Structure 1
Amino acid sequence: MTRLVVLDIVGLTPRILAHMPRLSAVADRGFQAPLSTILPAVTCSVQSTFLTGETPSGHGIVGNGWYFRDLGEVFLWRQHNALVGGEKLWDALRKRRPGSTVANVCWWYAMGADVDWTVTPRPIYYADGRKEPDCYTHPPELHDTLPTFPLFNYWGPGAGLASSKWICEATQQIMARHDPDLTLAYVPHLDYDLQRHGPSSPQAIRAATELDAILGPLLDAAFARDATVVVLSEYGITDVSRPVHVNRALRAEGLLNVHTQDGMEYLDPWTSRAFAVADHQVAHVYVRSPRDVAAVAKICAALPGVDQILDSKDQVAYGLSHPRSGELVLVAEPDAWFTYYYWLEDRAAPDFARLVEIHRKPGYDPAELLFDPSAPAAAKRRAAVALARKKLGMRYLMNVVGLDAGAQAIRGSHGRLPSAADDAPVLLCSDPAAARITVAATEVKDLLLELAS
């Protein structure tokens, strides 16, 4: 029985791997191959393809979030595994090897997955508005064997190495105590500085070096168990400099509506004729009436930074044909990415726009990784005051995120299909007998089953 450890090192590319000798040693034992990703090349979609062998047309995860048509709401970063269609890797493994045990450490859609051990970030949301770091585990008793999850190092301006170190150490602990047959771990550290500063920056090289050091003990522990190690990545992050405001363009044309409360504007998906759910370099545009699709496509085509507009027929070719997809899917030009912004003046932005608030924003916001670049010192002072109020038991707002200044400062993004091999995802495997010239994301599930069988 072969034990298998699968590490999802987000943002890993040949360009970044060149600075990671410990990780490169996995390929020295076995092989390295280009990994052909899917559209959209974002975490939730690609992970779901790895685990099911399906494109989004099959598993339904058309992005990190989408417009829930039956609820009339935009939601990102949901966690229930039932949202993912298709046969999961662990179910297929147990058909081949009944009784196989599986651990999932921080891969997405972990809650409710039929695995033996689960760890996933899950803050405590107190009734008084406080948000405190924590994680969800299954079985529940696993929770108290782990230190507190460093939530504020997992996402936000403070995101950094501590969260990946915690995940690697939690994975080692589960392997040592429970000895799973299949262990999945998601390691996010490269996502942070590569988006803040771009993959060509000195900070990107430093992030790669830092991560390589903390991966060393985890790799040693895996090989000490005679496990086969697979390292893969969902996407490569590329240099960008242009935010594209699709929702503002749709609003200017009278297609997107807002409603106002206490001077703050909120997206009104119920009455809007068209709006976009932005997700890095891909945006789903939801158009209420078929009569408006052509007009909306023309408006989007005129926006600088838009490279492709996929209608329903095009979406079939890209494996994106699903009821959750927008009537149109936009793909950004290589140096551009899409914001969710829909307000026309900063004073009308909702209060959550200036917060790290991934569940309330109707689109992805990488500006959450930065203290407001227009006045970073003032943002840090606000953070210190908010932290003091929190410690005193008072209500507070951690309003440290920039709006347009934050968007303008972002230097790395992903989501479109890669145009250069050095910026594309990669797969490493310690078993030379499984060598491939290239691996498609839809082939990963079968490769893992072969290695584990």
Structure 2
Amino acid sequence: MKRLAVLNVVGLCERELLEMPFLRKWAEGRERRSFKPAFPAVTCTAQSSYLTGLAVGEHGIVGNGWYDREAAEVKFWKQSNHLVKGEKLWERLRRERPGFRCAKWFWWYNMYSSAEFSMTPRPMYPADGRKFFDVYAHPLSLRDEVKKELGDFPFPSFWGPRAGIDSSKWIANSAKWIEKRESPDLNLVYLPHLDYSLQKFGPGAPETVQEIKAIDDVLADLIPYLEGRGIEVVVLSEYGISKVDRVVHLNRIFREKEWITIKDELGLEQLDCGASKVFAVADHQVAHIYLNDLSLKEEVRTLLQSTDGVEEIREGWEGVGGERGGDLVAVSEADSWFSYYYWLDDAVAPDFARTIDIHRKPGYDPAELFIDPALKFPQLKVAAFLAKKKLGIRGLLDVIPLDADLVKGSHGRDSVGPDEQPVVVGTGASQCGSEREVFHYLLKRCKAD
């Protein structure tokens, strides 16, 4: 029976492909096409569109996070696959091909999925406040078995200042491991490496050259291995990265209008979304604007339209609204992006602002890719923290800067040039003219003779 591997190389577009000797040569013998990205052009939305073939208003994933109106909480980077509505690619194939088996390897929404095999980053959080890096797997036995052969997943290289090639190497090796062990009919493999340097330094920066080469080397090992086992390989991406030099702090603007409610907690400021009249949930170059006071809608729209760095305001399903999305959705200009910052004085910023804390922050924070340049001896600070952690002493690893201007690359817009659009490479890939058509393309390839 036909078997397929889909390698999701995050951040890949024609611009980067030209700098990847192996992948460029491999692509020459196949079809490839760039296409307009999903909106918002972010990981969770794009992947959900690829794997369901549905519009955002149907699968419900309006971004990497959103405001839960009932819980009055912003929720980012949740992992339950039940959040994604609609029939999934592997479910459709299983219905049409009894016995079909899928491995969903580090793609998002990977907990409690109906895929036969899955693995995703998932720390353990004991009740005493400690945090232990780990992965979640289904069946659960895969977790210990893969670590026995490959060692622990290098979690610090998956996100944060140490984000780098080691995590993508480990994922690629574990994809080979599950292939050797189970030979799934569909192997979905997530390789995030390019995303890091492109956001940190921006496209075209000298620092990105070796990082592009690094992921090309991973593909040069993984693709021949898979093809050598008779598997057809498709390479695709979710979005390209745009060069940015301006950050827009929407919540600070709303605060100046006295629409934001702030709580004082132990001398530090916390955003109280449930009590605020208007607030933004920032997600790269897109921000969901939630209005607890709908009478302010036109005033908010007028304010956003006059804000430097904001290009467009959308609403309704077209703007990714509905149950989860904002009442308005702001889209940045090409050279700009949105921060979640709401404090006006760094001295009262919340304690999590200077840490890697993707779940507590009410928005995405790419500054987590940096070590605060104001720290004189950051490595000593990290070493001291780790030593205390081994002794069971709790503390904050507060090494993340509050300078959003450090970020040089972003994404999220769907109006981007051909050299920044996502790309798909594979047999018959020219038929993919949109993110939703990727679903039908993959479905067709899995059923091809």
TM-score (norm 2): 0.96
Match of 1:253 in 2: 257
Aligned to 2:89: 89
Shift in Å, 1:132: 1.6
Q: Quick one: distance in 1 between partners of 2:30 and 2:230?
A: 14
Q: 1:58 deviation in Å?
A: 0.8
Using the TM superposition, give the Cα deviation of residue 388 of structure 1 relative to its aligned residue in structure 2, in angstroms: 1.9
User: 2 CA distance for matches of 1:387 and 1:306?
Assistant: 41
Q: Contact 2:35/2:418 (CA < 8 Å) preserved in 1?
A: no
- Kept in 1: contact 2:431–2:441 (CA 8 A): no
Residue identity opposite 2:387 in structure 1: A
Q: Which moved more, 1:340-349 or 1:387-396?
A: 387-396
CA contact (8 A) 1:22 1:216 kept: yes
1:435–1:281 Cα change, 3 Å:
closer
> Among 408, 423, 427, which residue is 2:405 paired with?
408
Q: 1:186 aligns with which of 186, 190, 213?
A: 190
Assess if the C-alpha contact under 8 Å between 1:286 and 1:328 holds in 2. yes
1:56, CA displacement in angstroms?
1.1
SS at match of 1:82: helix
**Residue type at the aligned position of 1:231:** V
Moved more, 21-30 or 160-169: 21-30
**Would the alpha carbon gap of residues 192 and 376 (structure 1) be closer, same or farther in structure 2, given more than 3 Å must change?**
farther
Query: What residue identity is the alignment partner of 1:384?
Result: A
Partner of 1:393: 392
The answer to whether the Cα contact below 8 Å between 1:164 and 1:187 also exists between their aligned partners in 2 is yes
Q: For residues 5 and 18 of structure 1, what CA distance do their matches in structure 2 show? A: 22
The 1-side partners of 2:263 and 2:52 are apart by 40
Partner of 1:224: 228
Matched, 1:153 2:157: yes
- Contact 1:80 1:112 (8 Å CA) reproduced: yes
Give the CA RMSD over aligned residues.
1.2
Q: Deviations over 1:304-343 (max 9, x none)?
A: 111101133xx43x5x242111000000011100000011
The yes-or-no answer on 1:113 pairing with 2:113 is: yes
Q: Secondary structure at the match of 1:436?
A: helix
Letter of the 2:370 counterpart: L
- Residues 432, 441 of structure 2: 8 Å contact kept: no
Which shifted more, 442-451 or 126-135? Answer: 126-135
The correspondence for 1:234, drawn from 234, 238, 242, is 238
1:285 counterpart SS class: strand
Q: Which residue of 2 aligns with 1:442?
A: 436
1:357-415 superposed Cα distances (whole Å, 9 cap, x missing partner): 00100000000000013x14343332222122122322221100011x2x011000000
Q: Which amino acid aligns with 1:260?
A: D
Shift of 1:72: 0.6
Q: Deviations over 1:189-221 (max 9, x none)?
A: 001111110011012221110111122221111
Render the CA deviation track for 1:270-313: whole Å, top value 9, x for unaligned.
1100000000000000011221111111222222111101133x
Q: Please name the residue that 2:414 is paired with.
A: 417
Q: Distance in 2 between matches of 1:437 and 1:70?
A: 41
CA apart distance, 1:158? 0.7
Contact 1:12 1:235 in 2 (8 A): yes
| Pairing 1:182-331 to 2, within 5 Å after superposition | 182-312=186-316, 315-316=317-318, 320-331=320-331
CA distance 1:437–1:60, shift in 2 (3 Å) = closer
Contact 1:258-1:265 within 8 A present in 2 as well:
yes
Q: CA–CA distance in 1 between the matches of 2:441 and 2:299?
A: 44
Conserved? CA contact 1:247–1:275, under 8 Å: yes
Distance in 1 separating the partners of 2:281 and 2:429? 39
Q: Secondary structure at the match of 1:408?
A: helix
Question: 1:249–1:299: 8 Å Cα contact kept in structure 2?
Answer: no
Aligned to 2:423: 426
Secondary structure of the equivalent of 1:329? strand
Distance 1:6 1:343, change over 3 A: same
Q: Give me the TM-score of the superposition, normalised by structure 1.
A: 0.95
Distance 2:344 2:72 in 1: 23
The answer (yes or no) to whether the contact 1:11–1:191 under 8 Å persists in 2 is yes
Aligned mates of 1:218, 1:435 — CA distance in 2: 20
Q: Which runs of 5+ in 1 are unaligned?
A: none
Paired letter, 2:385: A
Q: Distance in 2 between matches of 1:106 and 1:352?
A: 26
Structure 1 counterpart SS, 2:184? coil
2:354 aligned with 1:357: no
Count of paired positions: 443
* SS, match of residue 124 in structure 1: coil
Percent identity of the aligned residues?
Answer: 46
